[in-house]
A and B are shown apart, each in its own frame.
Chain A
Amino acid sequence: MNTLADFTFVSTLLFAIGIYGLIVKKNALRLLFAVEIMINAANLNFIAFNTFLWPNAVGQTFVLFSIALAAAEASVILAIVVVAYRLHKDVDVSELKTLGG
């Protein structure tokens, strides 16, 4: 039988992978991948604690809203990536200096 520790361990592992991606990668799309992985780790943690400690509809609804917000965030980031590619012909974040104002 799976315990709460197993799910939190997987969630921690995913979060650490996301941190690694955020630190190492320079490609804007890879950064988006890393952020998505971290958001999913947080959602997994939410559902795991909700199921094991206090199973109710509110906790699951919270994750539904979180998923919808993450989708909105992804659409905006992808639009910014397309614009950056159109302006610079590359999506390397260390090259995108004009975004700094």
Chain B
Amino acid sequence: MADLLFIAVTAITVGGAVLALESTEMVYAAVALAGSLFGIAAFFFLLNAPYVAVFQITVYVGAVAVLILFTVMLVRQEKWMKEATYSLARLFGILAAAAIAATFALSFAASRLYDLPAQQNTPTFFEIGQLISTNLSPILLVLALVLAASVLGAITLAKVEREEH
């Protein structure tokens, strides 16, 4: 049985996700998405993964959400306030989402994994840092290269070409 804190975090996360997709004002939608990402970080705290939670707050709420917010302010238009969603498309979307949710929920409910008790031994910061800097260091290097390439690509894409006179 879920406790009160879990229900509150669930409300923030799912409510933020719904608002991010359905709010007519795009800036509010971006802020709601940041709230939803923050709720995910709270889930990580509930799951005894504080390192991942702090990383989630730093990268998502700190960097990605602010990046999205600035892009929204850059490209926002008045006509988005009354963007028309075709009711047929909406019906189809709700049906597809409900079908996928039902499939996953039923298959999870049928499994016997849930009878297992929660584990107590949780990895420490030291273990995670040791793993990243020793065994998984090649992955870290490749990831750094991917990040550098994506940032360089983003700068190249968004660069304004100087007009020749």
Partner of B71, one of A23, A44, A82: A82
- What bracket does the count of chain B residues touching chain A fall in? 35 or more
CB neighbours of B37 from chain A (8 A)? 36, 40
The verdict on A78 contacting B49 (CB below 8 Å), with A17-B21, A69-B146, A73-B150 known, is no
Contact string, A3-20, partner B, CB cutoff 8 A, digits 1/0?
111111110111111111
Interface of B is mostly: helix
Q: For the complex, would chain A's binding face be called helix, strand, loop or mixed by DSSP majority?
A: helix
List residues 37-66 of chain B with CB under 8 A from any CB of chain A: 37, 40, 43-44, 46-49, 51-52, 55-56, 59-60, 63-64
The reply to whether B71 and A61 contact each other, CB–CB distance below 8 Å, is no
Cβ-based interface call for A76 (8 A): yes
A30 to B20, CA, bound (A): 8
**CA distance in complex: A15, B94 (Å):** 12
Contact partners of B48 in chain A: CB under 8 A: 51, 55
Q: Which of B21, B68, B147 contacts A72 (CB 8 A)?
A: B147
